[in-house]
A and B are shown apart, each in its own frame.
Chain A
Amino acid sequence: MVKIINGLIAIVAGVGGITVLFWLLNAIVERLPDKWEQRIKPYVFIGPAMFAVGVFLVYPGVRTIILSFFDATSENFVGLRNYQELVGDPNLRSALFNNILWILFVPTLAVVIGLLVAVLADRLRPRWEKVTKSVIFLPMAISFVGASTIWGFVYAWRPPGTAQIGILNAVWTAFGGEPQTWLQISTARLNTFLLMVILIWLQAGFAMVLLSAAIKGVPDETLEAARIDGATEIQIFFRVIIPQIASTIVVVLTTIVILVLKVFDIVYVMTGGNYNTDVVANRFITELFNFRQFGRAAAIVVALIIATIPVMIYNIRTFRAGEAR
């Protein structure tokens, strides 16, 4: 009960605080002479938002880059040593290899499944289209930890001879296989692929929603024209629809790539990075919390930033092009 009251107080204080802040700032500015009011007001309006961005993203970003050239305790300048250590670290190389697999497979498969559902469900009656899409979209609401628990249960293992409670092993043994501890099998990185399934399961709905909207935006005339010319449905899909939704596909792919770069939760919860399943974002947590190696952790973040720079530039360009229209 005390907890609930404290919680309520906290909520009111937090929300009230920001409202009062704006009200006060505005009251001050409106007392200024007209000319100054007009000059300063825009900055008052963007002020708190930009302050938050500055303090919580820009400043730490710059600090992190600087810290990546310092030692574990951030006291002594060590030049590029953190980067050299990371490049030479076999664990990190293995994690990097896994990341490449994640980046290659997760976005692509999520888009393929999303596209498949978007196209196929479009042929159902509206009611069933809605139901199908909701089912695929639903995991978007589930957290990575929750999803990991769900799939942990799918992959669960019981000793041979006892009843299998994980559905994967149940199916596997029904076909005559020995029960497997799936997440410990790193042959051909099987366990990494099984972890990827979780993220694909979570993200296919996102891909589907965007692609479905784009497909519905394809003008009917272009489809009719192709049909009159005798094109099959499959030809229409690849030659008429796909080219027209290409930009959306790119957006979805890049969005999921960025997400994949940052995902650590699934690995952290499921395997803790053991059995060759580590990824770079999880290495960051390990360096930071387990090893207290602030310099090396910072260097990993710098690598992540560098990986996102192309997307950043692409975003700014598309934004500029859009504004110029």
Chain B
Amino acid sequence: MTTTPTPPTAVGAEERREAARGETTPRRRGRGRGMLLVRIALIALCLIWTVPTFGLLISSFRERDAILSSGWWTVFASPLEFTQWTLENYAEVLEGGMAAAFINSLVVTIPATIIPILAAAFAAYAFAWMRFPGRDFFFILVVALLVIPLQVAFIPLLRLFGQFGLNGTFAAVWLAHTGFGMPLAVYLLRNYMSSLPHEVIESAKVDGATDFQTFWRLMIPLSVPALAAFAIFQFLWVWNDLLVALIFLGGGRNEVVTIALQQLVGSRGQDWYILTAGAFITMIVPLIVFFSLQRYFVRGLTAGSVKG
């Protein structure tokens, strides 16, 4: 989990501030030679940040022998020579088990994202809007557990799951991810919900709505930005996770894409035609999620950690 708490901020405060200033007039626009240096520095950084991934992407479409006999950058000499491009690598790696792993990853990730959100949303509602003995104690516990290393859980959980015959099953990973993601989920959602206007909840109560109704009809719709932010976090986290999958799921029938890729690196470390295509198959879903929902993701990050 990558977010450390500071005092809660209303999601969107940052955006309002930015909008108030007006997008078209950046404050510190320099000019002349200084600006040239800025541009060069940024271009250099952007290159370092993209070239490695780009090289992998290009290589994944090259023939096996071509990858090994010349650097991927040589394709720019004749990029339009279509005979050098191939989809064979993808076909081979998908048939070799990556397709099955891809489906397993979806089966692991979707419930492991939705289950903690629901449970956390209920808890967040109670923490934000109900008064009860022990409330502060439980919430402080949540805050404390935000940074606990996941490793604490593995040895006892392996045994506990073993007793129920859960090791190696999807249920084991769902449960584990639900537990591990819970502190951040409760923390983010509670901070968001408690920043919602008091009057809305009060008026619902006056109208005779039960807590259950207020929660479903009011809280959930109003909290969509925070729910989306956490959903993206958790989705990326679970999809990209190696550690939890390695320990509770392992290889074989139920292996997920990260495990499949790690095993390819281990067993076929020099077969770059397999590795490059395999790596891209593991990355495609997170990249789509990231690009389509980047706005929510950034909001979630800032809401979780920036002081208001």
Measuring CB to CB, which residues of chain A are less than 8 angstroms from any residue of chain B? 3-4, 6-7, 10-11, 14-15, 18-19, 22, 26, 30, 39, 41-43, 45-46, 48-50, 52-53, 55-61, 63-64, 67, 113, 116-117, 120-126, 129, 132, 134-146, 148-154, 156, 158, 162-165, 167, 170, 201, 204, 206, 209-210, 213-214, 216-217, 220, 223, 233, 247-248, 251-252, 254-255, 258-259, 261-262, 264-265, 268-269, 281, 284-285, 288, 294, 297-298, 300-301, 304-305, 308, 311-312, 315-316, 318-323, 325
Q: What is the interface of chain A mostly: helix, strand, loop, or mixed?
A: helix
Q: A7-B107, A167-B51 are in contact. Are A301 and B152 (CB under 8 A)?
A: yes
Q: Are B17 and A216 neighbours in the complex by a CB distance under 8 Å?
A: yes
Q: List the B side residues contacting A4 at CB < 8 Å.
A: 103
B45 in contact with A113 (CB, 8 Å): yes
Say if the beta carbon of B110 comes within 8 Å of chain A: yes
For the complex formed, measure the closest distance between the CB of A308 and the CB atoms of chain B, giving whole angstroms.
5
* Interfacial chain B residues near A57, Cβ < 8 Å: 145, 148, 152-153, 179-180, 182-183
Number of A-B contacts (CB under 8 A): 366
Give CA–CA (A265, B241) in the complex, Å: 9
A5 CA / B34 CA spacing, docked (Å): 60
Q: Is A49 touching B175 in the complex (CB atoms < 8 A)? A: no
Whether B69 is near chain A, meaning CB under 8 Å from some CB there, is yes
A-B contact pairs, 13 of them (CB 8 A): A42-B131, A48-B122, A48-B123, A52-B116, A52-B179, A55-B179, A56-B178, A60-B157, A121-B42, A142-B240, A223-B28, A288-B154, A308-B148
Chain B residues contacting A145 (CB-CB under 8 Å) are: 240, 242, 258, 261-262, 265, 282
* Chain A residue with Cβ nearest B178: A52
Question: With contacts A10-B107, A319-B143 known, what are 11 further pairs, Cβ within 8 A?
Answer: A14-B114, A56-B176, A120-B38, A121-B42, A126-B23, A141-B287, A142-B240, A150-B279, A153-B272, A153-B275, A167-B71
A143 x B183 contact (CB < 8 A)? no
Q: Given that A7-B106, A143-B283 are known contacts, is A315 also in contact with B147, CB under 8 Å in the complex? A: yes
Let me know if A117 and B116 touch, CB within 8 A: no
- Structural contact, A61 and B148, CB atoms closer than 8 A: yes
> Per a CB cutoff under 8 Å, which of A121, A164, A204, A258 touches B147?
A258
Contact B180 A322 (CB under 8 A): no
Contact of A50 among B67, B138, B176, B236 (CB under 8 A): B138
Q: Which residues of A contact B122 (CB under 8 A)?
A: 22, 45-46, 48-49
Closest residue of chain A to B34 (Cβ to Cβ) is A233
Residues on the B chain within 8 Å of A121, using CB: 42
Choose among A42, A298, A323 the residue that contacts B126 (Cβ–Cβ < 8 A).
A42
Nearest-CB distance from B298 to chain A (Å)?
A: 6
Is B125 located at the chain interface by the 8 A CB criterion? Answer: yes
**B26 and A124 contact, CB distance less than 8 A:** yes
Tell whether B78 is near chain A: CB-to-CB under 8 Å: no
Q: Which 7 A-B pairs have the closest CB atoms?
A: A56-B179, A322-B7, A143-B240, A14-B111, A49-B123, A141-B290, A45-B126
Answer yes or no: B56 CB below 8 A from chain A CBs.
yes
Closest Cβ of chain B to A163, distance in Å, is: 5
Q: Among B6, B14, B142, B246, find the residue whose CB has the most chain A CB atoms closer than 10 A.
A: B6
Provide the bound-state CA to CA distance between A77 and B306, in Å. Answer: 46
A138 to B242, CA, bound (A): 19
Partner of A248, one of B42, B269, B306: B306
Q: Which residues of B contact A52 (CB under 8 A)?
A: 116, 119, 175, 178-179, 182
* B-side contacts of A323, CB under 8 Å: 7
B45–A64 CB distance below 8 A: no
Interchain CA distance A206-B306 in the complex, whole Å: 12
Q: Mark B31-63, 1 if CB is under 8 A from A, else 0.
A: 000110011011001101111110110010000
Q: Tell whether, in the assembled complex, residue B305 and residue A311 are in contact, meaning their CB atoms are under 8 Å apart.
A: no
Query: Is B70's CB within 8 Å of the partner chain A?
Result: yes
Q: Which of A6, A264, A304, A319 contacts B243 (CB 8 A)?
A: A264
Q: Are B290 and A316 in contact (CB under 8 A)?
A: no
Considering the complex, which residues of chain B in the window 108-165 have a beta carbon less than 8 Å from any beta carbon of chain A? Answer: 110-111, 114-116, 118-120, 122-123, 125-127, 130-132, 135, 138, 140-157, 160
- State whether A60 touches B153 (Cβ < 8 A): yes
Q: Whole-angstrom distance from the CB of B234 to the nearest CB of chain A?
A: 13
User: Bound state CA distance, A55 and B39, in angstroms?
Assistant: 52
- Tell me, rounded to whole Å, the shortest Cβ–Cβ distance linking B118 to chain A: 5
Contact residue among A30, A268, A325 (Cβ-Cβ distance under 8 Å from B212): A30
CA distance A269 to B242 in the complex (A): 10
Contact yes or no, A305 B149, CB < 8 A:
yes
- How many angstroms between the C-alpha atoms of A162 and B7 in the bound complex? 57
Kindly report which residue of chain B lies nearest to residue A135, judged by CB atoms: B46
Closest to B294 in A: A134
Q: Give A19 to B148 CA distance when docked, in angstroms.
A: 28
Instruction: Given A117-B45, A322-B8, answer yes or no on A156-B182 (Cβ-Cβ < 8 Å).
Output: no
> Are A301 and B56 in contact, with the CB atoms below 8 A?
no
Q: Decide: B156 and A206 in contact? CB cutoff 8 A.
A: no
